[in-house]
Amino acid sequence: MSLPSDFLWGFATASYQIEGAAEADGRGPSIWDTFCAIPGKIADGSSGAVACDSYNRTKEDIDLLKSLGATAYRFSLSWSRIIPLGGRNDPINQKGLDHYAKFVDDLLEAGIEPFITLFHWDLPDGLDKRYGGLLNREEFPLDFENYARVVFKAIPKCKHWITFNEPWCSSILGYNTGFFAPGHTSDRSRSAVGDSTREPWIAGHNILVAHGRAVKAYRDDFKPQSDGGEIGITLNGDATYPWDPEDPADVEACDRKIEFAISWFADPIYFGHYPESMLKQLGDRLPTFTPEEVALVKGSNDFYGMNHYTANYIKHKTGPPPEDDFLGNLETLFYNKAGDCIGPETQSFWLRPHAQGFRDLLGWLSKRYGYPKLYVTENGTSLKGENDMPLDKIVEDDFRVKYFNDYVNAMAKASSEDGVNVKGYLAWSLMDNFEWAEGYETRFGVTYVDYEHDQKRHPKKSAKSLKPLFDSLIKKD
């Protein structure tokens, strides 16, 4: 069991979750600043205004990465730091751009490969207000392409680009359940605006086209001079197992669940059309690709970015699904018919460790999409009750050490035994940070951040567990 000799590993973060400094150097507001200000949207009433203060601690963060032995670091750019109002005719904020260019220089100087995510959910609020943000099929892809071109030009040394992080979350959590910014939903007790039956599918479609435009821009005008630069999208999805393995309808629902989560985006990118199962259930609520859009989207991944955390048992539902269903007419469960539990509880209601699922899903994706080059761009866990423990207990995070050990070993098996072409792994997350609607109560970091004492960082046991693990698995040549 092993990983290839050129395998990169390290940690991942996202701008709104760690940077803070919300008003520094001319940054404009994002939809998350606006969303957090609405009472009741964030569990602890917090926001990313200060977070881990990473905007002001780039040296400290790079020193931390170096001390843990990381060879790669995935972070995202705050679009509204670079173009405060967001649009293609709006002014560029040079200070914001310079900040990221310098950060990349400093990472490379430290021997760490940067992986830049262009969009990790923090859309400039100006674009949401101006034309409805992700819902605007004409304007949004053009503004995204312009933003992408601005950063490709300013940061030529970065060789690994991710256009969008988890478009499923932006679309479903942002426009169906309303749990995430901008909080649209049909539930009028929670939002004055939104149509859960249509908007998520429109947002997802426009993200795909915007991704395609940015990739075309990169390939036409930047990749040729980049000495091996590459670009792709990051998709999230869970592993699935039938609630009743004897029931063909449950077995079929397992694939359908992955299709509604992952293939929604990956099928258009690899095949040029939406999955049959989604067309069947959603009909004309799923937008139709124009030939021009197909040309942009089909074939637009240099690599597949995979975010993965958990697994579920799947039970099919009978009868027609409600119009706002986004799962594919099925239930996701933690117990199967025989009473087996998928995995132990964590602090996140949706997350239960089940490492075999990682290997199985790596295999499923590889088979469906022709064994693409793949980076695991996020994988990690929260820990039940961690926030309420004393610091000396928190840093002994054996549960997280075991999670990484089990998952990384499952990935190494997929690599050496199942033909999966995985070339990198970024653990979520380098440090505890703003966990979106859950605020700061849920911690995913391998480093504890003491929000009460000047955001001081304390590496946990898991932080130091990855280097020996990867050293033992990566082939030496």
From candidates 79, 428, 440, 470, binder to ligand PNW by CB under 6 A: 428
- Judged by beta carbon, residue 404 or residue 428, the one nearer ligand PNW is 428
**Catalytic pick among 19, 113, 145, 166:** 166
- 260 touches ligand PNW by CB under 6 A: no
Report in angstroms how near the CB of residue 69 gets to ligand PNW at its nearest.
23
> Do strands 456-459 and 447-450 pair parallel, antiparallel, or not at all (unpaired)?
antiparallel
**From CA 458, how far away is CA 449, in angstroms rounded?**
6
> Where are the extended beta strands (E) located within 81-151?
113-119
Assess whether 252 carries a catalytic annotation.
no
Sort 339 into a burial class: Cβ within 10 Å, 0-12 / 13-18 / 19+.
Answer: exposed
Q: Lay out the sheet containing 239-242: strands in order across.
A: 239-242, 311-316, 330-333
Give, in order, the Cα–Cα distances in Å from 441 to each of 98, 337, 455.
Answer: 33, 33, 15
**From CA 293, how far away is CA 273, in angstroms rounded?**
10
**From CA 45, how far away is CA 109, in angstroms rounded?**
39
Both structure tokens of 429: 């997350």
Q: Which residue is nearest to ligand PNW (CB)?
A: 350
- 161 touches ligand PNW by CB under 6 A: no
- Judged by beta carbon, residue 14 or residue 22, the one nearer ligand PNW is 14
Report in angstroms how near the CB of residue 166 gets to ligand PNW at its nearest.
5
From candidates 49, 154, 169, 333, binder to ligand PNW by CB under 6 A: 169
- 444 touches ligand PNW by CB under 6 A: yes
- Judged by beta carbon, residue 293 or residue 386, the one nearer ligand PNW is 386
Report in angstroms how near the CB of residue 47 gets to ligand PNW at its nearest.
15
Assess whether 166 carries a catalytic annotation.
yes
Judged by DSSP in three states, 124 sits in strand
From candidates 80, 171, 236, 447, binder to ligand PNW by CB under 6 A: 236
From candidates 14, 376, 394, 401, binder to ligand PNW by CB under 6 A: 14
Q: Name the one range near ligand PNW by CB under 6 A: 164-172, 276-284, 291-299, 329-337.
A: 164-172
> Do strands 456-459 and 311-316 pair parallel, antiparallel, or not at all (unpaired)?
unpaired
- 386 touches ligand PNW by CB under 6 A: no
- 307 touches ligand PNW by CB under 6 A: yes
List phi, psi (to 5°) of 163.
-70, -65
Q: Name the one range near ligand PNW by CB under 6 A: 24-32, 161-169, 287-295, 400-408.
A: 161-169
**From CA 373, how far away is CA 194, in angstroms rounded?**
37
Report in angstroms how near the CB of residue 420 gets to ligand PNW at its nearest.
21
Residue among 215, 414, 216, 436 nearest 306 (CA): 414
- 432 touches ligand PNW by CB under 6 A: no
- Judged by beta carbon, residue 14 or residue 474, the one nearer ligand PNW is 14
Q: Name the one range near ligand PNW by CB under 6 A: 34-42, 85-93, 147-155, 163-171.
A: 163-171
**Catalytic pick among 145, 378, 435, 438:** 378
- The torsion of the CA quartet 264, 266, 267, 271, rounded to 10 degrees, works out to 160
- Judged by beta carbon, residue 260 or residue 428, the one nearer ligand PNW is 428
- The torsion of the CA quartet 429, 430, 434, 438, rounded to 10 degrees, works out to 30
**From CA 171, how far away is CA 58, in angstroms rounded?**
31
- 166 touches ligand PNW by CB under 6 A: yes
Catalytic residues: 166, 378
Which residues here bind ligand PNW, judged by CB under 6 A? Answer: 14, 17, 165-166, 169, 236, 307, 350, 378, 428, 435, 444
